[in-house]
Amino acid sequence: MTVQPMKPILTQTLPKEEGWCYEIKYDGFRCTLTWDKKGIKLTSRNQTDLTPLFPEIIAYCNTLEEDIAPCLPLVLDGEIVVLTNKYQSHFEEVQRRGRLQNGKRIETAAQSRPAHFILFDVLICAQDQKDLPFMKRRDKLQEVSAMLHASTSVKPDVPFLLIEQSDQSEVMLRIADVYLAEGIVAKRIQSRYQPGKQRDWLKWKNWRCVSAFIQSYNQSNDYYRLAAYHIDSEPLEIGKCKHGLSDEEATTLKRVMTSKGHRKQDDIVIPPAISADIHCINTDVTSLREPSFAGLRPDKSPEECNWEQLEWDVRKMPPRDTFTNLDKQLIPEASITKQDLLCYLREIYPYMEPFLSGRQLTVIRYPDGIHEEQFFQKHLPDYAPEHLKKSSENVQQVDDYKDLLWFGNQGSLEYHVPFQTLASDFSSEIILDLDPPADSQFSLAVKAASYIKTICDKLGLASFLKTSGNKGLQVYIPLPEHTVTFAETATFNHILADTLVRYEPELFTIERLKKNREERLYIDYLQHAEGKTIIAPYSPRGNTEAGVATPVYWQELESLHSAKQFTMNSVIKRIREHGCPFASYAYMKSQQNLEGFYKILQGDK
């Protein structure tokens, strides 16, 4: 059963009139999933069989044979992606999977970095759906999604994600901006499904604009090699580009290259002299994704095309003059400048946002770096911009990445949040802070976390793990909002702490006085209380290693050797390669089963 996919046409502006809906555009392999009595097949838009490359999707579908039987034959349209967050995919990981040929390597990749199938449309569901209006097909897609146990939330062990939709372009534009998504697809709600490019579907790219200079031109394929000056002032190639120039610009550029350059095999090489603006869609500056010329820049010197500016522009940062002292060293031992901090905060915000939004923020400011004066700040200063002043009490809140960048510009390295939102007196989660007496005794925190994981599993409680970025580990137990009081969490934490001390009295203690702890790990069950705070996930720490409070997978626990092993210099790369361990946190929070929790409170063992 061969189905040619419907494809959107590139547009510079999204339609504003009524009759359209909007979805985030993902960067992956466009794919149809065909499911009939013969089996399940994944087919690319070029009719390549992708089935052997993504066994995790096929294996999951096989577990739902009875549930899905009434829908067969079934053809779904979508995109195979590897998610870094709910709205952003990492194309290089999908591409890497696409190159694998060895079955064992494919299985390993499927387990370590599973792919998702983003559900766009349903073309056949027992009968042909293609002639139905798009919104009718959307209704049917939601029915099928429910049978696949998929929704618009990332769920653990469910490789399907129903694409989110809005009838307001502004909603999706904000999501694309905040999450640095690839772009937006606009679909006419009355459109029928037709193969090939159709004007009823439009795609808008969330271009980043960076500057580079041209190194060479290949006459056989018309590609220009682009470069920028790296930190050591050496040119570093960042990609190749051939599209985007006007006929006049292309003719002029080729004439200059052939007259001023020198031949080196198939290339015409030229010293750094010609600068250009380049559109791309990724945040990894080492290899630009979908580069195209935005225009030649005779007014810009090659020296202005440098790594520092690239790192800034590729993240779609606000204008540089919005900020001050960008070259100030905040953590000299890790070579962290204020610009590095701001770029980190911009890119990490989507992962911090669920734990910052709607909560009162406390920051620790290091305006002149970690070796100079530092201080807590719990309320907004008078000179804070108006967009941050959301209450008469000057409560600090972060509701947008621009808010976070303002705090970063003030030298705020650490971001601490309470255990509840501003709208609730109930606890949003239980967090157990496992703080060893010294860095060298980090293994005590690992052992304590392992015990807590075992207890949570026996109680049927979903739990998550993160490093503190400083000395220890922290275990999160998400709670549905407005359900559990702080009195109940205090009792639970006390019981849990006492249980650990009974297990290993020589290793763990609840003794408040340091002099009486005797090198045991202190389990601070009293720290989890209304009004108290804890370091937010992915917040930097003000230590010489530039440690980050980093979510980790439970299967990584035994391999951890330090609370500071993940740093501002490594966390973004880690997320790209391994995903975010808290990706399903919101879903598990809404679905958390508290039966075991309440049994413990009632004294049941």
Separation of alpha carbons 562 and 245, rounded Å:
50
Q: Provide the domain count of the chain.
A: 4
**Which of 173, 205, 237 represents a domain boundary (last residue)?**
205
**3-class DSSP string for 454-481:** HHHHHHCCCCEEEECCCCCEEEEEECCC
Q: Which of 106, 93, 73 is nearest to 29 (CA)?
A: 93
Residue at 120 is within a domain: yes
Do 113 and 41 lie in one domain? The reply is yes
161 backbone dihedrals φ, ψ, rounded to 5°: -135, 120
Separation of alpha carbons 308 and 228, rounded Å:
10
Residue at 519 is within a domain: yes
- 357-175-567 Cα angle (round to 5): 60
Do 30 and 155 lie in one domain? The reply is yes
Do 93 and 21 lie in one domain? The reply is yes
- The domain that holds 257 is classified in CATH as 2.40.50.140
**Secondary structure (DSSP) of 99-157:** H---HHHHHHHHHHS--EEEEEEEEEESEE-TTS-HHHHHHHHHHHHHHTT--SS--TT
Do 224 and 263 lie in one domain? The reply is yes
Residue at 452 is within a domain: yes
- The domain that holds 193 is classified in CATH as 3.30.470.30
Residue at 320 is within a domain: no
pLDDT tens-place string over residues 318-351: 999 999 999 999 999 999 999 999 999 999 999 9
Tokens of 445: 């925190």
Catalytic residue among 7, 25, 155, 205: 25
Do 541 and 462 lie in one domain? The reply is yes
- The domain that holds 521 is classified in CATH as 3.90.920.10
Separation of alpha carbons 549 and 532, rounded Å:
17
Question: Range of 390's domain?
Answer: 329-418
User: Residue 602 has what pLDDT?
Assistant: 87
Which residues of the chain have a pLDDT value below 50? none
Separation of alpha carbons 86 and 151, rounded Å:
12
Do 185 and 261 lie in one domain? The reply is no
**Which of 205, 229, 253 represents a domain boundary (last residue)?**
205
Do 384 and 305 lie in one domain? The reply is no
Which residue matches tokens 């100079």?
Answer: 372
pLDDT tens-place string over residues 374-429: 999 999 999 999 889 887 788 999 999 999 999 999 999 999 999 999 999 999 99
Residue at 71 is within a domain: yes
pTM score: 0.95
Residue at 478 is within a domain: yes
Helices (H), 434-531: 442-459, 486-503
pLDDT tens-place string over residues 227-250: 999 877 789 898 899 999 999 999
User: Residue 1 has what pLDDT?
Assistant: 65
Do 13 and 120 lie in one domain? The reply is yes
Residue at 341 is within a domain: yes
Do 443 and 552 lie in one domain? The reply is yes
Do 236 and 299 lie in one domain? The reply is yes
**Which of 396, 418, 440 represents a domain boundary (last residue)?**
418
Separation of alpha carbons 592 and 599, rounded Å:
15
Concerning whether 37 is annotated as a catalytic residue, the answer is no
Residue at 318 is within a domain: no
pLDDT tens-place string over residues 538-572: 999 999 999 999 999 999 999 999 999 999 999 99
Do 434 and 516 lie in one domain? The reply is yes
Tokens of 217: 């031109």
User: By the 8 A CB rule, do 370 and 543 touch?
Assistant: yes
Do 336 and 248 lie in one domain? The reply is no
Secondary structure tally for the chain: helices H, strands E: 15, 31
Contacts for 77 with CB less than 8 Å, ≥ 6 apart: 3, 5, 6, 31, 32, 120, 121, 122, 123, 193
